[in-house]
Structure 1
Amino acid sequence: MKLAVYGAGGHAKVVVEIARQLGYQTISLFDERWQELGETEGCQVIGGWQDMLSHLASNPDCSAHVAIGNNSTRLKRLQTLKDLDVKLPVLIHPKAYVCCSAHLGDGSVVMANATVSVGSSIGLGCIINHNSSVDHDVKLGDCVHICPGVNLAGEVQVGHETMIGIGSCVIQGIIINDRVFIGAGSVVVKDVKCAEKVYGNPAKSP
């Protein structure tokens, strides 16, 4: 199996490790800093975004993954790849648990020791990071980033391009809207408006 990965930073290193665990034998990396990076996790960084598109066009059997942390940029890149009908597999670490009734959108990644529980729906290009828990009937929009150690209780809804910081907790039934930033270690006990930044216990705007 072949995989082209856009991004060659820390997040991409984790993605490469998961891809190898899943049996991808040929992994090619692309990043705008390719000339200075040279190699990441034993994989050659061979060009930028346009080079990746050319690579995919000449290798129709190659899948792709966008391994960058910026939610907005990741969404734009993924939408371009979907428009080109590029295969965007879901990458699930063998040590993660994803319930059979959960739905994961194209291009999402679930890292080691994460849990995605019954009835959950995960959007396009989401990141479910190490040791995080997505409980029953949670709904995540596109390109949500769930950082390590986050706990989302049942029936939580999270809007597009939202970032939930490391070690945060969200109580049951909360609605977090689009493009929200939740600071590390926060406890979210009430709904959060679009593009709001909140942190603390209880989480609130500065």
Structure 2
Amino acid sequence: MSERKTLLILGAGGYGCTIAEAVQEGSLYTPIGFLDDSYPERTASFGLPVFGTTKILGSYVQHVDAAVVAIGDNQVRQDLILKLQSAGHRLATIVHPEAKVSPSAVLESGVTVMSGAVIGTQASLGQGVIINAGVTVDHHAEIHDFAHLGVGSCVAGGSVVDKGAWLRAGCIVGYRAAAQAWQILPPGTVLGE
């Protein structure tokens, strides 16, 4: 078994804690701590230190193997991922050990997939996508960069969630349907058939 790599998490709130726990349950990374803009009011989260705000992310390039953005706001996550890349950070892709991802699915950098999620045959997840707990992304579905699928959402086979769209809890994108770029769907929304 190879040695675990060190991981810096941007965002020490609820999703940051979820990512830290998923990483601790996996075998690839060891979370070393957070950067969060609530610092210095918040100096620890989930038993890990908060080192400072996201403004200092460049100073950690030589000290960690990878970083991940654990912030639900799609625009903020996109901005921070671009800053991480500009600073030379490697983006981690995090898959909870209790998620099921097809070996033919394509996951770009910075994707996070939580417990109970199912990613189907030849589905594609773009950069910085969040797949929350219990989400289903069926075969050949396309989830474009920086989209966010809330808890229990379902995307049918061949459907598309465009860049930056946010499907809040329990949304359904049916067959031949699409969520538009940067669209925010209220919980329980059903698109298409």
Pair 1:27-2:32 in alignment: yes
TM-score, normalization by structure 1: 0.87
**Displacement of 1:52:** 2.3
**CA shift for structure 1 position 26:** 4.3
Partner of residue 156, structure 2: 153
Q: Do 2:121 and 2:139's aligned partners in 1 also have CA atoms closer than 8 Å? A: yes
Query: Displacement of 1:51 after TM fit?
Result: 2.1
Which secondary structure state, in structure 1, belongs to the residue aligned with residue 23 of structure 2? helix
Matching residue's letter, 1:7: G
Quote the offset at 1:29 in angstroms: 0.4
Contact 2:130 2:148 in 1 (8 A): yes
Could you tell me which residue of structure 2 aligns to residue 11 of structure 1? Answer: 15
Contact 1:4–1:52 (8 Å) recurs in 2:
no
Could you say what secondary structure the match of 2:139 adopts? coil
Partner of 1:114: 117
Structure 2 partner of 1:85: 88
Distance in 2 between the 1:151 and 1:145 partners?
12
Q: Rg larger in 1 or in 2?
A: 1
Q: Distance in 1 between matches of 2:83 and 2:60?
A: 15
Residues 78-113 of structure 1 show CA distances to partners (whole Å, capped at 9, x for unaligned) of 112223332112100010000001001101100000
The equivalent position to 2:175 in structure 1, one of 168, 172, 175, is 172
Displacement over 6 Å in runs of 4+:
none
Q: Structure 2 counterpart of 1:55, which letter?
A: Y
CA offsets, 1:52-91, max 9 Å, x none?
Answer: 22122x32x5210011111011011111222333211210
Aligned residues: 188
SS in 1 for 2:17: helix
TM-score normalized with structure 2 length: 0.93
Unaligned runs of 5+ in 2: none
What is the CA-CA distance between 1:22 and the residue it aligns to? 2.1
Shift of 1:187: 1.2
Within 2, Cα distance between the matches of 1:46 and 1:86? 17
